[in-house]
Structure 1
Amino acid sequence: MEISPEDVQQDGARKKVIFSVSDVSIDDARENTSRLIEWPTNQLIVLLRLVRQERTTRYNSLRIIKKGIEHNGDFQKYAEIAGEDYEYWTRKAWVLENIIRDRSGYFPEKITDDYICKVIAQIEKINQKPMRINPKNSIISDTKG
């Protein structure tokens, strides 16, 4: 197994994990599944949030178009297109949920600003925590001397 130089840490330092919300856009969701699998989990969570928002927008459009059909049947073609869009974004959300679930055992039901802030705070806290063993707590005693 090869370890890349940037993965080697010294003096108890941890490799920094970065959670950047701004690196993700809804356009990224159009990537195929094999490419999305390569993404970091944190970015997938942000992308899932965007996809869910897009799905909600598409659902609301579909609902409005269906109301229009009740008054004027000319909207049927638009309803079909809106339905296909809604289905696309629903399936994309399922793909992202499954990738996240495969990695962590679950996926977040709701991804709010508060949720993302808590995740970022936890990542920053862990990034600062060194990996050290307190010699007083070690079970291995010094056999020299």
Structure 2
Amino acid sequence: MLKYARAERVSLYHYLNVFYKARKLGQTEEYKENEEESGKEYEKITRKMFVLENILRQRLGYVPHRITDDYLARYLEEMKKGKHKPMIIRQKRRDEVKSGS
């Protein structure tokens, strides 16, 4: 979802910029409404993107810079691999095992 939110945000920023430049070049206010609407949508998607990033930060401990299909495949593989380890519960502390007590 974050991948799509980032792509949508880039697209909205592009539209916002185009309407701003068109309004400035034409020296008219006819594009102002479109610019404001794009700005509102940009802010809305930015807020949603931040929510998604915060969820990832809580669960992964970081926010990936780029989310690709390869990244997702590796992450899924790591999740599967981690589930097949046996659970080992130590009976003694490590320092006791080393000293031979």
- TM value normalised by structure 2: 0.71
TM-score (norm 1): 0.52
Task: Give the match for residue 42 of structure 2.
Answer: 86
Q: Secondary structure at the match of 1:110?
A: coil
Aligned to 2:57: 101
**Aligned partner letter, 1:79:** E
Q: Which runs of 5+ in 1 are unaligned?
A: 1-46, 141-145
> What does residue 18 of structure 2 align with?
64
Q: In the superposition, relative to structure 1, how do residues 132 and 102 fare at CA in structure 2: closer, same or farther (>3 Å)?
A: closer
After superposition, residues 12-23 of structure 1 pair within 5 angstroms as none
* TM-superposition CA deviations, 1:7-66 (whole Å, max 9, x none): xxxxxxxxxxxxxxxxxxxxxxxxxxxxxxxxxxxxxxxx11111111111111111111
More relative contact order, 1 or 2 (CA 8 Å, 6+ apart): 1
2:67 partner amino acid:
I
Q: How many residues align?
A: 89
1:83 maps to a residue whose letter is: G
State the distance in 2 between where 1:65 and 1:81 align. Answer: 10
Letter in 2 for 1:131: P
Deviation at 1:139, TM superposition (A): 7.2
Matches of 1:59 and 1:99, distance apart in 2: 24
| Bigger mean CA offset, 58-67 vs 74-83 | 58-67
SS of alignment partner, residue 31 of structure 2: helix
Equivalent residue in structure 1 for 2:4, among 30, 35, 50: 50
RMSD of aligned alpha carbons:
2.2
Larger radius of gyration: 2
Inter-CA distance 102–58: structure 2 relative to 1 (3 Å threshold): same
**Which residue of structure 2 lines up, in the alignment, with residue 124 of structure 1?**
80
Q: Distance in 1 between the 2:50 and 2:63 partners?
A: 10
1:111 aligns with 2:67: yes
Rate the CA distance shift 1:102–1:124 in 2: closer, same or farther, 3 A: closer
Structure 1 runs, 4 residues or longer, greater than 6 Å off: none
